[in-house]
Structure 1
Amino acid sequence: MKAVEDFYEGSELEGLRFATNYYRWLYEEFRPYLRGRCLEIGAGTGTFSKFLLSSSVETLWCLEPAANLLPLLRSEVSKSGKPVKVIQATLAQFVASAPEPFDCLVCVNVLEHIEKDEEAMRQMHDLLKGGGHLCLFVPALPWLYGSLDVQFGHYRRYTKRRLEELARQAGFAIEKLRFFNLLGVITWFLMGKILRWRTWSATPVAAYDRLIIPFLRRLEQHFSPPLGQSLLMVVRREP
């Protein structure tokens, strides 16, 4: 990762804790593929973990390398009655000693932090059972790369073609691939390219989540946007 793996110093996760509608929308997109033993890669502070625990997942493994995030992560996931295992490790460290394969993997806003993303995709393929799904979410559109991406430790933003290429090279079959959060293109361009913000606060995140996301969710249910702030992909490991 670009950021120090054992200690998270950014502000990205703090702001996203207030994006409840945003993550609920993303969860609903992934929900049909969540089952059995699930591994969340880069669980952070548990913002998305709590949604995973409300799904058909039977056991959740939360992988997070940053030691300073673990207390909040453990506190968040302990609120569920389901079995949860919190592990401090990077993906590369975990795959070397992983137990039996998983039924599903979830990787939300993490792949862009990993320098060798091709290797990471192969590792995630190896962690899945045959027929299991990887639910992946990444920042989209390389031309949107700006000051916030730099500050948050992003190596890149993705095109649809590049993400599809990574998936197929790793041996995955693609089941879903689409843009997500159309109006986020405008806000990210404004914040990262024009105003050149180096951090964000909870206030704009919460306002966008409350006022814009419910409208966008209804809109994008009826058509696939031609571009978006992020890319959502679901892929399957062949049996």
Structure 2
Amino acid sequence: MEGATHSFSPERLERIARMEEWHFWFRGRQAYIESWLTRIALSHSERALDIGCGTGWMVRWLASKGVRSIGLDSLAPALARLRAYHPTLSGVQGDAERLPFRAASVSLILCLDVLEHLDDRQALQEAWRVLTPGGWLILAVPAVPGLWSARDEAAGHRRRYTRALLRQRLQEAGFCIVDLRFYMFLLFPLIALTRWLGRFRPSLQEIEERPPSLLNSMLSHLLRLEIGIGRHIPWPWGSTLLALARKAC
């Protein structure tokens, strides 16, 4: 599912928006991120920025919790959808490598399945610049270079990350890593098989986006188990890396 929100036709955005409500991959990732956002507990006076806001799901969720949230995207269709469906929310067109915000102006940055499309050093330096002292960064990136497939190429990915590479990039930018974990450990064999088979039959990768409802329900339950166990032990690998970092140690 990595990179799914970066195909920006209006029809594709609507499809992704529906998937965010029910698809096992999105629901599991959202559970991790929501637990971190609850932990951070921004005050109503603080601002949050969602870089690469896509359908606007995170902007909407933050706003529902009383946080002043802003969505930023480089492409107009995503912002048009945000304004059409959520006219009270703020959206800005801009480049993650040159953020149109002054230094130390936001308390939280979300960058979910975006960094792999960019000059990651420049994007993280920009995130550091605009965060307030003690500000938070939440990242999600595709993991395990060996999973590279036609899906990555279609999504415009430049790389898939190892834990060591993501740690290095964050530390180079000056961030203190609070939590760095893999996601999709229990389903990793299925994903690896799908990506390998997809090299020969690309249509098979569509199964990831449109699983039958019974299979989706079963996988959702399995991910809830993974998340519960993951609170106590670190998973050694997974198809996604999630990071919680701070502009302070």
Q: By the TM > 0.5 criterion, same fold? A: yes
Contact 1:42 1:108 in 2 (8 A): yes
CA RMSD of superposed structures (Å): 2.9
1:207 CA drift (Å)? 6.0
1:51 CA drift (Å)? 2.4
2:82 partner letter = L
- CA distance in structure 2 between the partners assigned to 1:204 and 1:187 by the alignment: 12
TM-score by length of 1: 0.83
Contact 2:13 2:54 in 1 (8 A): no
Contact 2:72 2:94 in 1 (8 A): yes
Contact 1:137 1:232 in 2 (8 A): yes
1:38 partner letter = A
Task: Provide the residue aligned with 2:114 in structure 1.
Answer: 110
Matches within 5 A, 1:124-163: 124-163=127-166
Matches within 5 A, 1:187-198: 187-196=190-199, 197=202
1:151 partner letter = A
Q: Identify the range of structure 1 (133-142 vs 198-207) with the bigger mean alpha-carbon deviation.
A: 198-207
1:126 CA drift (Å)? 0.6
Deviations 1:59-89 (A, max 9, x none): 11100111122222223444xxxx6310011
Task: Provide the residue aligned with 1:18 in structure 2.
Answer: 19
Tell whether 2:47 aligns with 1:37. yes
Tell whether 2:131 aligns with 1:123. no
2:47 partner letter = R
Higher helix share: 2
Tell whether 2:228 aligns with 1:221. yes
1:27 partner letter = I
Contact 2:32 2:227 in 1 (8 A): no
1:228 CA drift (Å)? 0.8
Equivalences, count? 228
Contact 2:13 2:78 in 1 (8 A): no
1:221 partner letter = G
2:94 partner letter = A
- SS of 2:97 mapped into structure 1: helix
Contact 1:27 1:52 in 2 (8 A): no
Contact 2:138 2:244 in 1 (8 A): yes
1:104 CA drift (Å)? 0.6
Residues 1:183 and 1:65: Cα distance change in structure 2 (over 3 Å): same
Residues 1:90 and 1:13: Cα distance change in structure 2 (over 3 Å): farther
Task: Provide the residue aligned with 2:78 in structure 1.
Answer: 69
Contact 2:104 2:133 in 1 (8 A): no
- SS of 1:38 mapped into structure 2: strand
- SS of 1:91 mapped into structure 2: coil
Deviations 1:32-65 (A, max 9, x none): 22522000000011133332223352x1110011
User: Unaligned stretches of 5+ in structure 2?
Assistant: 22-26
Contact 2:98 2:123 in 1 (8 A): no
Contact 1:173 1:237 in 2 (8 A): yes
Task: Provide the residue aligned with 2:24 in structure 1.
Answer: none
1:16 CA drift (Å)? 6.5
Contact 2:109 2:137 in 1 (8 A): yes
Tell whether 2:96 aligns with 1:91. yes
- SS of 1:121 mapped into structure 2: helix
TM-score by length of 2: 0.79
Residues 1:7 and 1:18: Cα distance change in structure 2 (over 3 Å): closer
Q: Identify the range of structure 1 (16-25 vs 161-170) with the bigger mean alpha-carbon deviation.
A: 16-25
- CA distance in structure 2 between the partners assigned to 1:191 and 1:11 by the alignment: 22
- SS of 1:27 mapped into structure 2: helix
- CA distance in structure 1 between the partners assigned to 2:218 and 2:20 by the alignment: 11
1:62 partner letter = G
Contact 1:180 1:230 in 2 (8 A): yes
User: Unaligned stretches of 5+ in structure 1?
Assistant: none
